[in-house]
């Protein structure tokens, strides 16, 4: 049973429930890229991403990480803890791909010496710009303690996800997470973890286009988009 619509985003809709501390997150088939300049749909993505995210949130909980996940309640809906999302998109990179290649002149596919954590200001009007700790403090996006916690949390999540995706025969190139503060002031991993928010390469495929198993297939019009998500789901649910 869903209450009133709180917020409709690009990939999900949030509804209230009869418990003020619990929200319903409904995953959509809509896909966007390049700050919504490119729009489309991916057949069955809502159900696939909901299944993938549910499985991964449960895995991370077992590993001792606090997430907003409560339970999956339908093929494309999950109950989550209501949190105040910090307006910071936290990106962790293991291999250079996407915007960092353009920004710093790195070669696509170049392994990084160690995982890199980056902060982006979650602000669609500004195109989610890269920011530093100084900007986080200046704009009051988080306290300095929270900013330090965010970095450590992101690195911990990276470790667990790398282990997990390795079992799926997938390389975790990079990913984006959103962190929220719950009613008790505790930081929780929120939003979603899916092929929309992670770059995943098939370990067994060498071709740089063929190995892509994530939203880059949509961004770059590589075809077989839903098929790639389907394959990721199959491997994630079996891991």
Ligand X SMILES: Nc1ncnc2c1ncn2[C@@H]1O[C@H](COP(=O)(O)OP(=O)(O)O)[C@@H](O)[C@H]1O
Residues that bind Mg ion (CB under 5 A): 11
Q: How far is CA 119 from CA 146, 149, 215, 226, in A?
A: 13, 13, 20, 29
Judged by DSSP in three states, 93 sits in strand
Nearest to 201 by CA among 121, 103, 111: 111
- Stretch 161-190: interaction string toward ligand X, x if CB under 6 A: -----------------x-x---------x
Interface residue with ligand X among 15, 17, 23, 67 (CB under 6 A) is: 23
Helix (H) or strand (E) holding 146: helix 144-167
What does the alpha-carbon distance between residue 15 and residue 24 come to, in Å, rounded to a whole number?
Answer: 5
Interface residue with ligand X among 24, 51, 78, 82 (CB under 6 A) is: 82
Contacted entry of Mg ion, ligand X, none for residue 179, CB cut-off 5 to 8 Å set by kind: none
Near ligand X in 102-141, by CB under 6 A:
none
Burial of 218 from C-beta contacts in 10 A (0-12 / 13-18 / 19+): buried
In the complex, the smallest distance separating the C-beta of residue 201 from ligand X, rounded to whole angstroms, is: 23
In the complex, the smallest distance separating the C-beta of residue 192 from Mg ion, rounded to whole angstroms, is: 7
Stretch that binds ligand X, among 8-16, 126-134, 199-207, 226-234 (CB under 6 A): 8-16
């Amino acid at each position: 049973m869903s209450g009133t619509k709180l917020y409709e985003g690009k990939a999900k809709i949030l509804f209230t429930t009869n418990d003020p501390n619990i929200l319903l997150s409904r995953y959509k088939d809509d896909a966007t890229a390049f700050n919504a300049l490119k729009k489309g749909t991916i057949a069955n993505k809502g159900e696939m991403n909901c299944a993938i995210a549910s499985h991964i949130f449960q895995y991370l909980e077992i590993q001792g990480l606090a997430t907003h996940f409560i339970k999956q309640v339908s093929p494309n809906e999950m109950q989550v803890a209501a949190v105040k999302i910090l307006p910071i998109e936290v990106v962790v990179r293991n291999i250079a791909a996407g915007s960092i290649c353009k920004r710093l002149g790195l070669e696509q596919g170049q392994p990084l010496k160690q995982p890199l954590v980056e902060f982006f200001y979650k602000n669609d009007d500004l195109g989610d710009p890269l920011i530093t700790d100084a900007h986080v403090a200046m704009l009051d996006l988080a306290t300095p303690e929270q900013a330090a916690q965010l970095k450590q949390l992101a690195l911990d999540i990276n470790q667990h996800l790398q282990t997990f995706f390795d079992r799926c025969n997938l390389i975790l190139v990079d990913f984006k997470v959103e962190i929220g503060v719950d009613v008790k002031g505790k930081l929780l991993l929120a939003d979603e973890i899916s092929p929309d928010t992670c770059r995943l390469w098939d370990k067994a495929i060498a071709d740089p286009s063929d190995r892509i198993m994530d939203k880059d297939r949509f961004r770059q019009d590589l075809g077989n988009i839903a098929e790639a998500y389907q394959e990721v789901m199959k491997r994630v649910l079996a891991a």
